[in-house]
Chains A and B, each alone.
Chain A
């Protein structure tokens, strides 16, 4: 088991390095930081622009490989560089990372657990009312892009707020800045801000997992080993949870890794629409501002997250399925 984990981890580090390098090359070749200084009135002399871009390691006149080497040297030393507006990328990340992680962690955990539960329940009660209605709902949810879902939730909440007369759901920001009060009211306030963004990235996840979990569970339900478990005298519930779910949940671990990328994409939209100052919202700002260093840092962040989730999925698979460990 330990060698398995060790091997997977090495593979993971390699992929992170490759993926973030690719991210850097793409960002450095597609984005043009120079455009931010050109065409201004009064015009900035070219030597000044060069000087400024050189200091930021974003000068398009320097060969891209040279810029890459400089970037890598800094990153290895734990410095992700400076943004175009001359803030440290590290500082910016430390301000924003928890905003995003909170959203992503709650979203992925809630989405996968609720999705698996709904899928199992749908499979056990196949073609009954819950299965049919939930099936349609998840189809609709999967056909709705996150940005549209977030907007609809936002409008729904605003309508509801005006109907009940108080602000129950907050639709902008992650907390009310001018709020004074005890820890409890601060906590409740944060929670009220958290509901809608979390909901908009969780719902898609629930729909996604429940479809696959339902299919996997249906396969297991008709399998021989479950019949054997029943035949040797286990109750339906025991057979289902001890012998059924354990097998049916295996493929979900793979989907967990794949869907994390989707979740990050979703977070970009929810953060933008609900005005959260997280990594996703920063990504949009940085691409629009041609900020190579910031974009590369965000790509690195998302690569690490996706691969971590892949790693967790691998370890979970190995823990659940002894056959995997032997490879």
Chain B
């Protein structure tokens, strides 16, 4: 099996006329992945909708239109209105905006943290490794959702950035474990050894030699973490532990919409659909990236 995996890239290279760089190869594989391209397009549309969409409606998300209470979708209010006359279109887009921003920020922070912890633990091993992995185990024992919900009074009435920090602080553990495992094998490689014997300081080895070499995993994980972060954020917001009113996120919109959604489906179906589509497209992209960076995982099985 291992021989086969090694052969595939060379076949691919020899059939094409010019030699392709790794990034070109990855890009080409990614764009051949139908679901990944679908995900990329959908996510792009979501971003356009969230950030440019609001300019196509005369109603702002925090404005109330008292002449239209609980109206179904119409030309005036594209997605209908809420019980108190809020424009569901503007609200949904604003919530989508918030959820997307939170998802991206949390993914970047938590993956960055995971890369550092994992690389240091794997490279230094010994006591550092044991202490850090104890911390990881400890944090994995308690579901992040429970911890953040308990800590929610700390950011009630404050900026949502605190919420982002908390989401990131409790979402890095599994990625850190993966990076640690990879670092274990990397640190025995010649180029890391050479750097070490040349007297390159640990910090520089970690940031300049180790982390760039696990970059592909980090990109994949950051992508998948966006989806995870959006799910956690909306779940917490749904119960009132996340984004606080008057601000809205997809979670709070769904929470407000559910009570009367059977008779007034527009209150919640748009937010729900936006949520599922966003997370779905993110996970398609992550899947496509994984296959693009590591074709062995699919090709070997295809045989």
Contact = CB atoms under 8 A, between A and B. Distances in A.
Given A22-B138, A31-B150, A261 B301 contact: no
B9 interface: no
A295 to B, nearest CB: 6
A105 interface: no
Contacts of B283: 139, 142-143
Contact of A26 (B151, B275, B303): B151
Given A30-B151, A140-B280, A148 B174 contact: no
A262 B171 CA distance: 13
Given A31-B153, A224-B1, A287-B149, A148 B254 contact: yes
Contacts of A23: 142, 146-147, 150
B238 A143 contact: no
Interface string B223-266: 00001000100110011110000000000001000100110000
A264 interface: yes
B270 to A, nearest CB: 13
Contact of B142 (A142, A218, A224, A303): A303
Contacts of A306: 140-143
A258 B174 contact: yes
A16 to B, nearest CB: 8
A268 B153 contact: no
A283 interface: yes
B137 interface: yes
Contacts of B128: none
Interface in A288-327: 288, 290, 295, 298-299, 302-303, 306-307
A158 B154 CA distance: 38
A265 B301 contact: no
A27 to B, nearest CB: 5
A145 B235 contact: yes
Most buried by B among A221, A222, A264: A222
Most buried by B among A143, A158, A299: A143
A258 B235 contact: no
A15 B1 CA distance: 40
B1 A223 contact: yes
Interface in A29-57: 30-32
Contacts of B227: 143
Nearest to A265: B145
A219 B272 CA distance: 36
A148 B280 CA distance: 14
Interface size grouping (class) on chain A: 35 or more
Contact of B140 (A148, A155, A261, A290): A261
B50 interface: no
B215 interface: no
A156 B152 CA distance: 32
A27 B153 CA distance: 10
B184 to A, nearest CB: 16
Given A218-B301, A261-B140, A299-B142, A143 B276 contact: yes
Interface string B203-223: 000000000000000000000
Interface residues of B, number: 46
A19 interface: yes
Contact of A143 (B140, B280, B301): B280
Contacts of B153: 30-32, 290
B284 interface: yes
Contacts of B174: 258
B143 A262 contact: yes
B300 interface: yes
Most buried by A among B143, B231, B234, B241: B143
Contacts of A22: 138, 142
A269 interface: yes
Interface string A224-252: 10000000000000000000000000000
B141 A303 contact: yes
Given A145-B235, A261-B140, A140 B145 contact: no
B279 interface: yes
A180 B239 CA distance: 35
Contact of A144 (B152, B240, B241, B276): B276
Interface string A249-288: 0000000001001101100110010000000000110011
Given A30-B150, A268-B146, 19 more contacts: A23-B146, A23-B150, A26-B151, A30-B151, A140-B280, A147-B234, A147-B235, A151-B272, A152-B272, A223-B1, A265-B145, A265-B146, A269-B239, A284-B239, A287-B149, A287-B150, A287-B241, A290-B153, A306-B141
Interface of A: 15-16, 18-19, 22-23, 26-27, 30-32, 126, 139-140, 142-148, 151-152, 155, 158, 215, 218-219, 221-224, 258, 261-262, 264-265, 268-269, 272, 283-284, 287-288, 290, 295, 298-299, 302-303, 306-307
18 contacts: A18-B138, A22-B142, A23-B142, A32-B153, A126-B301, A143-B276, A145-B231, A145-B235, A147-B235, A147-B238, A147-B254, A148-B275, A151-B254, A158-B262, A219-B301, A287-B150, A298-B146, A303-B141
